[in-house]
Amino acid sequence: MNRRPLHPVTEDDVRRYEEDGVVCLRNMIDRDWVARMYDASMRWMASDVGRIARNPDGSGRFKINTFMCRSDEDFRAFRDESPVAEIGAALMRVDQVRFWYDQLFVKAPKTSAITHWHHDLPYWPFRGSHLVSLWVAFTPVTKATSGVEYIAGSHRWNKFYRAVTPDEDPAYTDKTLEPCPDFSDPARRADPALRFLSWDLEPGDIVCHHPLTVHGAGGNESTSRPRVGLSIRFLGEDVQWAPRDNVLKVPVPPKVAPGAYPADDAAFPVTWRRARASAGS
């Protein structure tokens, strides 16, 4: 199983991430990792743990789990031994990253449940620019199998939309925030000022996005193939701890003052450090 990316993250990749707020990196994870993590993901899919959104008739299932690596050795190994942390550091141009959390998304065949248009930062107890999500495909992904769409440059809109979960959990509803528009509306899709980005993915491809980049996805129209993807999130150097209501709760509450850098190794462990940065510390 590869510890380093199968292909280098190039300067062009980094610039595209900075400009569009999202970049697709092809074939970064080897087949051994994909097979191991697909099996681990389906084990969680079969469990009773996590959020579940179903079709109106009760069929289909969109399963979401978080913080798997705190109890599962396969997800912990992927966090610590795969190249994902190094990739996140390269895109943020930082010398070390801390792990924030992992989140598993599995849409069973014939599941109509959508991923509402949103961006990630309103769900999180942080502020800053050095945060990144890496969405790793463990199955082939197409638009018909719930491929995610992103709006290029939306991380620079100076917006902070209200969070909404697939099961519309009111615990995340901050009514002081503006709802995110439905960008699947034909009138919005026809807006020449909006550029929608999406990719067909093969297992081992990674889509990396800034947490203010607006994105969403449809249901899984396949009659036989689940869509399995893992988002893993990392913190860079300018992040500030910003706890508040209506956000994801941290399993290990950090011993960090609001507004401070989250330098708590129990809550947010360092998962990658550049060798020269380590030598100078």
pLDDT per 10-residue tile (average), the chain, 281 residues? 97 98 98 98 90 79 93 97 98 98 95 92 95 98 94 97 82 89 94 96 98 96 94 97 93 94 96 72 43
Q: Where along the chain do its domains lie?
A: 11-246
> 3-class DSSP state for residue 89?
helix
**Residue 187: CA atoms inside 13 Å, Cβ hemisphere, count?**
2
Q: Are strands 96-107 and 227-235 parallel, antiparallel or unpaired?
A: antiparallel
Name which of 157, 155, 95 is nearest 129 in CA terms: 155
The CATH architecture to which 11-246 belongs is: Sandwich (2.60)
> 3-class DSSP state for residue 156?
helix
* pLDDT confidence of residue 276: 65
pTM of the shown model: 0.94
Name which of 139, 28, 185 is nearest 91 in CA terms: 28
